[in-house]
Amino acid sequence: MRNLNSIFIIPARKGSKGIPNKNIKKLLGKPLLNYTTEYAKKIKTSNDIICVTTNDQRVKNIIKKDDEIEIINRPNNLAFDSTSMQDVIDHVIRFYSDKNIFFDSVVLLQPTSPIRKISDFKKIKKEFNLKIDMVVSVKKAKENPYYLLYEENHKGFLEKSKSLKVKRRQDAPLVYSLNGSFFMINTNSLKNKLIEDFSKIVKVEMPFERSIDLDDELDWDYLNFLILNKNLIS
C-alpha cells in the first residue's frame, strides 16, 4: 500500500473576538499557535507539508523563523467570522495545485485545541482510508438530545429535540460532539461535495481534558487550570 501524503493546515487569522489576539497570546509563556505548529512537526512524515494560513503579520513573524512550516497568505475576504473552514481549505488546496502539488488528505489542526498527544493522531491516521470522507476527533457529549435537550416549537412550548421516549439518561443512545482537535479529510471527497454533506465520517474519541476548544476567556482560564493541575503538558 502506498504511503499517503497529507497537507497539515493550521488556520490562524487575525481578528478574534472571544479571545483577542488568541493565536499569539501566551499560554504558559509560549504563543498559543506554537503548541499546534510544534505538534504538527512531530507527527508529519517526509511526504507531508505543514502550512499556516493567515492574514496576521504577527503570526507570519513567528512562523517565518521556522523553515519546516510554509506560510499561506490568506486573502482578507477569507478572514471573516462568517468564512467557512471549507473555503479556507479550498484556498490552500488551490495554492498547491497551482504548483502541481496534490495530497491524499487534509489534516486540519486548529490552534484553539492545543492539548494533543502523539497517540491521538496515530488513532486518527489508523482509521483513515480513501473509502471514507473524514475522520474526526470527538468527546462524549454531556448534554444528550434524547434526554436533556429541548427546542421551542411554533406554539412557544418546549419539546424534546429527539422524540425517542427515554426516562433515564443511561438508556439514551450515546451522543458525541466534535472537539475541534482533528479533522482528517479525504481530498477526493472535497472535490465532490461540501464537508457538511459528508456521510462517511469515522470518529476517534478523546478524553474531556484534551478536548478543550478555546472560545472565550473563561475557556482560557479553565485550560490554564487543567494544565497546572492535571499535568496535561509533559
Task: Say whether pLDDT at 93 is over 50.
Answer: yes
Listed residue (34, 178, 44, 177) closest to 121, CA to CA: 44
What is the reported pLDDT for 153?
A: 94
232 with 210: CB under 8 angstroms? yes
Model pTM score? 0.92
Q: How far is CA 91 from CA 75, 83, 128, 150, in A?
A: 9, 12, 23, 38
Query: Angle, to 10 degrees, between the axis of helix 118-127 and the axis of helix 32-43?
Result: 50
Instruction: Return d(Cα 12, Cα 21) in angstroms, integer.
Output: 10
State the residue for C-alpha cell 419539546: 159
Of residues 213 and 16, more confidence is placed in 213
For 43-50, what is the mean pLDDT? 95
What is the reported pLDDT for 1?
A: 39
Q: Please, what CATH class does the domain formed by 6-140+175-230 belong to?
A: alpha beta
- What whole-number percentage of the chain has pLDDT above 70? 97
84 with 11: CB under 8 angstroms? no
- Binned at pLDDT 50, 70 and 90, residue 234 comes out as low
For 43-65, what is the mean pLDDT? 95
- Binned at pLDDT 50, 70 and 90, residue 229 comes out as confident
What is the reported pLDDT for 79?
A: 86
For 19-24, what is the mean pLDDT? 93
